[in-house]
Amino acid sequence: MKYKKSLVFSLITVLLFSLFLTGCGEKEVNQTDAPTTQKETQKTEKEDKKETVEVDIFQFKVEVAKALEEAAKVYEEEKGNVKINIQTVGGGDDYGAALRAKFQSRQEPDIFNVGGPQDVEDWMDTLEDLSDQPWVDLALPGMLSGATVDGKVYALPFNVEGYGFIYNKRIFKDAGIDVSQIKDFASLEKAVQELDGKIKAGDLKDKYPLLEAVFEMPAKERWVTGLHASNAALSQEFDSSIAAYEAKEIDFKYADAYKAIIDLQANYSANSETKDRLVAVDYATQVDEGLAIERVAMIQQGNWIYGGVYDIDPEVADNLDILPMPIQGGKEDCIPVGVPMHWSINTKSTPEKKEAAKDFLNWLYTSETGKDFVVNQFFFIPPFEGYEDLQPKDSLGKAVKRYSEEGKTTPWVFMGYPTAWGEDVLGVEIQKYLAEKVTWEELVEEVKTKWTESR
């Protein structure tokens, strides 16, 4: 009986679905209703307000996605005849792949993101020349260099970011260490040793029960060691990412100072006795489960960690500041500051779309409303003049700004490293070095050779 019942049941479903199928099969092959309705709506929209222009943005910064959508809404209302569609790629590091897919699919975005010189060269055929845009003249010195080719500007710098040794002010204060005296490597090392001694002696145990080391070092995140840390040394050798991009070889003149920075972090981390374990330490362990819960006092990171730390412990977040990343023998009292990403416009879009896209970006970075979004909603440090009234409000943004204003900065040149050199060569070699698979001399030799090879 049961068998018969289930037979009847399946038959009915199958009949139903086969009816469905004939309808849908055709749809699949021809056109589907999704695009047609879309076309229809476009049509009706066109009839309503004659020149509604749609601008598609394809961007990667999840952190600002929501605020950007709000900004777009405000802009749409202001203009009346523009529609901004924003698509954000979540998850962090798949943007390059996603952007390629986007272009392959022939649904090319009008506005998208490019990184440094290598990206600009790769995407050159699709980049609109933006040299005539009003914001070009407002850019702070050096901020356009990453996207300038032959004197033409191809992209708008996203924001300014800086990194260094971010430390917890309270811990240093309670340990009785005067941070204002830290201006070079020697004084930094001395302070670290002092704090380390106090942590090991248990002097800070009452106030900071979790505190177990000065540093946490995420050697698993090869961008931290291979790109950022090395940049401190190589930015003494090159004055811009373009210079690094054009260099056929490197001296690695400050390799020893770079080693000193790496060793300092490793030797005063919780894994100082088992340094090979550092290769399993990731960003979350370093920031969220390290600095933010006061398990460690200092990490090499940038102002972008503020939001994440704030979500965990606002008090810690507001008590952060940045110490320099001193390169012995070079400029010591400074932090690397640069532009991580750019906005660019697809030169193959229609003239109307390009105009609208340009206008939107210009509005975002130069109008009063836009500027307010950039500083207070995106939490960006703007790379332009004209933001005097809008100061960053978070502790780390302020710190970066302070270094910039005092001229205590070195540029970000890692954008000009050969493709994947920083992470896949240097970052990997650092892991080997920490696991004592290679000596420092071998490491330096290897990375220099690989640089020359890839040029």
Partner 1 sequence: MWKKKIKKIVLFIFSILLAVLFLSPLYIVFTNSFKTQKGIFMNVLSLPFGPFFTLENYKEAFIQLNFIHSFKNSLFITIFSTVFIIIFASMAAWMLVRTKTLYSQFIFFLFAASMLIPFQSVMLPLINVMGWLKMLHPVGLIFIYVGFGSSLSIILYHGFIKGIPKALEEAAIIDGCNTFQVFWKIIFPLLKPTTVTVSILNTMWIWNDFLLPQLVINKPQWHTIPLRMFYFFGQYSKKWNLALAGLVIAMIPIVIFYLSAQKHIIKGVTDGSIKS
Partner 2 sequence: MKKNKGWFILFVGPILLAFLVVQIIPIFIGMYYSFTDWDGIGNQANWVGLQNYIEIFTQDEGFLHAFAFTTIFAIVSVFIINIIGFGLALLVTKEMKGNNFLRGIFFMPNLIGGLILGFIWQFIFIKAFDWIGAQLGVSALQGWLSTTMTGFWGLVILMSWQLSGYMMVIYISALQGIPESLKEAAAIDGANYLQRLRHIIIPLVAPAFTVGIFLSLSNAFKLFDQNLALTNGGPYNSTQMLALNIYSTAFTYNKLGLAQAKAVIFLFTVAIITLTQLYYNKKKEVEM
Strand 161-168 vs strand 335-338: parallel, antiparallel, or unpaired?
antiparallel
Number of residues lying near partner 1 (CB under 8 A)? 53
Query: Which one of 129-137, 310-318, 363-371, 439-447 is the stretch in contact with partner 1 (CB under 8 A)?
Result: 310-318
Count other C-beta atoms under 10 Å from residue 242's C-beta: 21
Identify the residue among 31, 376, 391, 419 touching partner 1 (CB under 8 A).
Answer: 31
Instruction: Please report, as a single letter, which amino acid is at residue 395.
Output: S
Cα separation, 419 vs 415, in Å, equals 9
Nearer to partner 2, 159 or 231 (CB): 231
Please, which residue, 307 or 386, has the CB nearer to partner 2?
Answer: 307
Task: Give the whole-angstrom CA distance, residue 157 versus residue 324.
Answer: 24
Closest alpha carbon to 434 in 327, 299, 281, 324: 281
Does position 424 interact with partner 2 (CB under 8 A)? The reply is yes
Cα angle 269, 443, 447; round to 5: 120
Residues 365-424 contacting partner 1, CB under 8 A: none
Q: How many other C-beta atoms lie within 10 A of the C-beta of residue 220?
A: 17
330 binds partner 1 per the rule CB under 8 A: no
Q: Which residues, 238 to 297, sit near partner 1 by CB under 8 A? A: 283-284, 287-289, 292-293
Question: How many CA atoms does the CB half-sphere of 76 hold within 13 Å?
Answer: 15
Distance CA 123, CA 139 (A): 22
Binder among 109, 429, 443, 451 for partner 2 (CB under 8 A): 429
> Which residues 91-150 are close enough to bind partner 1 by CB under 8 A?
91-93, 97-98, 100-101, 104-107
Please report the sign of the dihedral spanned by the C-alpha atoms of residue 124, residue 127, residue 129, residue 131: negative
Find out whether 57 and 111 touch, Cβ atoms under 8 Å: yes
Residue 31 interaction partner, one of partner 2, partner 1, none, beta carbon < 5-8 Å per kind? partner 1
Task: Name the residues that contact partner 2, by CB under 8 A.
Answer: 25, 91, 94, 96-97, 100, 103-104, 122-123, 125-126, 220, 274, 276-280, 282, 284-285, 419-420, 423-424, 428-429, 431-432, 435, 437
Task: Name the residues that contact partner 1, by CB under 8 A.
Answer: 3, 6-7, 10-11, 14, 17-18, 21, 24, 27-28, 31-35, 60-63, 65, 85, 87-93, 97-98, 100-101, 104-107, 210, 283-284, 287-289, 292-293, 304-305, 307-308, 311-313
